[in-house]
């Protein structure tokens, strides 16, 4: 055994002290520090040692200090009864220190394993101790089992700790990813808004000026060729103005200023115009108040869902439902098209739906995708609104 371990033996009877201690010295690693194997004669002494040596047993320990590799497993070998307590008292005390409230480590399974060595062990007492969290109970005649039992207990402790650390690592990584996604989404929207402003001020301004100049030329010229060229140029400018407005609208949907319902209706109307597929919008009321970031997430969800429908669904009907009942905003976009297989969601180069899922999380919501091949697809965004403070418009 090479992994770090602490071993505490509580025994007041001289006859058992040396025998148990000798056996335990084979359990701790050979090069372990001296304080890895400690023998005390009372529960009071044991508590003092615990408070000094094990971070989770100190009064000032917080949940945070209990997490992680700092808590090396403790093998506690305890006589029953002790001079000042019983093994059950010891287990109960340790359970309260390592309770679910502070850590997921549990008696006999995580940071602490308790082995009881008792001269007065009865079947009933053994059952009681095991039920309370003892890892094993031995009589002095069974001391040959102490070493293998201790090794098993420690192996289990180490495995539990590794699993716990892996869980903590995963949770931290997940949290970092969520924060990064939120930051990226916010940056993307800010960047889009900045580009939209540039297009509006620079390109839009220049095109409007050209349009006025062309109108001036048309008014002041009688040359038919000149008038024809001015008219054609004017048409091109008008086309470019329309295109720049469309681009601006995609980059920073100004329609959101008119509310989520109006925005979704506008998206549906554009979809119908482009695809010829009927898209109906049903909303629980004419206006649904949401914080700006939630409205943006809902808008982008509807936008991507409709883009997907026009690319893949081959449908004849699209339905969009928008409700804010019971403090939850729900947006469902469904089609009656070819549907998809669940594997489609995991295509390596498909980021639309994955992005929507992440977007939903950034506002405390979630995304459901329901689909079966041949039976259409429904994308549902749900965002609880009740406990959110409405933030300022950011874009
Ligand atoms: N409404 C739909 N009907 C049928 N299939 C769909 C529908 N929406 C999505 N899919 C399938 O799910 C896949 C994943 O969609 P997703 O939006 O995540 O990626 P994508 O559209 O392929 O690529 P990206 O959005 O990154 O440009 C699509 O490739 C398509 O096969
Ligand atoms: Mg897509």
Token readout for 35 is: 């304080």
Q: List pLDDT tens digits, range 291-308.
A: 999 999 999 999 999 999
Instruction: State mean pLDDT over 140-153.
Output: 92
What residues pair up with 236 in beta bridges, in sequence order? none
Which segment, 9-18, 20-29, 51-60, 153-162, is predicted with the most confidence on average?
9-18
Angle subtended at Cα 276 by Cα 270 and Cα 279, rounded to the nearest 5 degrees = 60
Question: Residue 203's pLDDT band (boundaries 50, 70, 90)?
Answer: very high
Residue 376 alpha carbon, nearest atom of ligand 1: 3
- Please name the residue whose Cα sits nearest to atom 17 of ligand 1: 352
The pLDDT value recorded for residue 394 is: 42
Residue with tokens 């539990």: 160
The pLDDT value recorded for residue 273 is: 95
The answer, yes or no, to whether residue 67 has pLDDT greater than 60, is: no
CA nearest 111: which of 51, 186, 57? 57
Residue with tokens 């409700």: 323
- Binding site membership of 21 for ligand 1 (Cβ less than 6 Å): no
Q: Which of 352, 358, 376 most suits a substitution to test ligand 1, by most atoms within 8 Å of the C-beta?
A: 352
Residue 8 contacts residue 46 (beta carbons within 8 Å) = yes
- Binding site membership of 309 for ligand 1 (Cβ less than 6 Å): yes
Angle subtended at Cα 357 by Cα 190 and Cα 262, rounded to the nearest 5 degrees = 60
Question: Residue 321's pLDDT band (boundaries 50, 70, 90)?
Answer: very high
pLDDT-above-70 percentage for the chain = 90
The pLDDT value recorded for residue 301 is: 96
pLDDT-above-90 percentage for the chain = 62
The pLDDT value recorded for residue 300 is: 94
Alpha carbon distance 242, 309 (integer Å): 25
What is the distance in A from the centroid of ligand 1 to the CA of 353?
A: 7
- Please name the residue whose Cα sits nearest to atom 1 of ligand 1: 309
- Binding site membership of 372 for ligand 1 (Cβ less than 6 Å): no
The pLDDT value recorded for residue 340 is: 94
* pTM as predicted: 0.66
The pLDDT value recorded for residue 390 is: 47
Average pLDDT, the chain: 87
- Binding site membership of 358 for ligand 1 (Cβ less than 6 Å): no
Residue 308 alpha carbon, nearest atom of ligand 1: 8
CA-based R_g, the chain, Å: 35
The pLDDT value recorded for residue 2 is: 62
Instruction: State mean pLDDT over 84-98.
Output: 89
Lowest mean pLDDT across 25-34, 181-190, 231-240: 25-34
In order, the DSSP letters of 265-331 are HHHHHHHHHHH--EEEEEESSS-----HHHHHHHHHHHHHHHHHIIIII--SEEEEEEE-GGGEEEE
What residues pair up with 380 in beta bridges, in sequence order? 332, 368
């Amino acid at each position: 055994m090479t992994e770090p371990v602490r071993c505490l033996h509580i025994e007041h009877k001289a006859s058992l002290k040396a025998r148990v201690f000798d056996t335990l010295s084979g359990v701790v690693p050979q090069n372990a520090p001296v304080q890895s194997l400690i023998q005390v004669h009372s529960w009071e002494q044991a508590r003092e040692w615990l408070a000094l040596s094990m971070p989770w047993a100190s009064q000032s320990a917080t949940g945070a200090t209990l997490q992680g590799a700092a808590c090396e497993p403790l093998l506690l070998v305890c006589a029953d009864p002790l001079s000042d307590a019983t093994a059950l008292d010891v287990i109960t005390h340790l359970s309260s220190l390592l309770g679910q409230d502070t850590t997921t480590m549990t008696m006999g399974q995580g940071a602490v394993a308790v082995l009881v060595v008792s001269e007065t062990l009865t079947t009933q007492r053994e059952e009681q101790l095991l039920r309370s969290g003892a890892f094993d109970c031995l009589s002095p005649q069974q001391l040959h089992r102490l070493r293998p039992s201790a090794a098993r207990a420690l192996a289990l402790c180490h495995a539990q700790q590794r699993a716990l650390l892996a869980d903590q690592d995963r949770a931290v990584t997940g949290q970092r990813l969520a924060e990064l996604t939120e930051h990226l989404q916010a940056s993307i929207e800010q960047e889009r808004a900045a580009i939209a402003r540039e297009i509006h001020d620079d390109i839009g301004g220049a095109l409007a000026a050209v349009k006025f100049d062309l109108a001036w030329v048309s008014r002041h010229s009688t040359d038919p060729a000149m008038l024809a060229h001015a008219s054609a140029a004017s048409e091109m400018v008008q086309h470019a103005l329309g295109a720049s407005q469309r681009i601006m609208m995609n980059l920073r949907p100004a329609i959101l200023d008119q509310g989520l319902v109006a925005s979704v209706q506008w998206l549906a109307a554009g979809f119908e115009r482009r695809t010829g597929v009927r898209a109906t919008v049903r909303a629980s009321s004419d206006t649904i108040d949401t914080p700006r970031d939630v409205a943006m997430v809902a808008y982008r969800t509807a936008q991507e869902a409709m883009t997907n429908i026009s690319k893949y669904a081959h449908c004849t009907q699209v339905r969009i439902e928008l409700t804010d009942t019971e403090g939850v905003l729900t947006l469902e976009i469904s089609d009656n098209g070819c549907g998809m297989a669940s594997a489609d969601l995991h295509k390596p180069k498909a980021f639309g739906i994955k992005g929507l899922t992440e977007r939903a999380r950034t506002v405390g919501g979630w995304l459901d995708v329901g689909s079966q091949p041949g039976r259409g697809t429904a994308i549902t965004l749900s965002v609880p609104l009740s406990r959110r403070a409405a933030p300022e418009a950011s874009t």
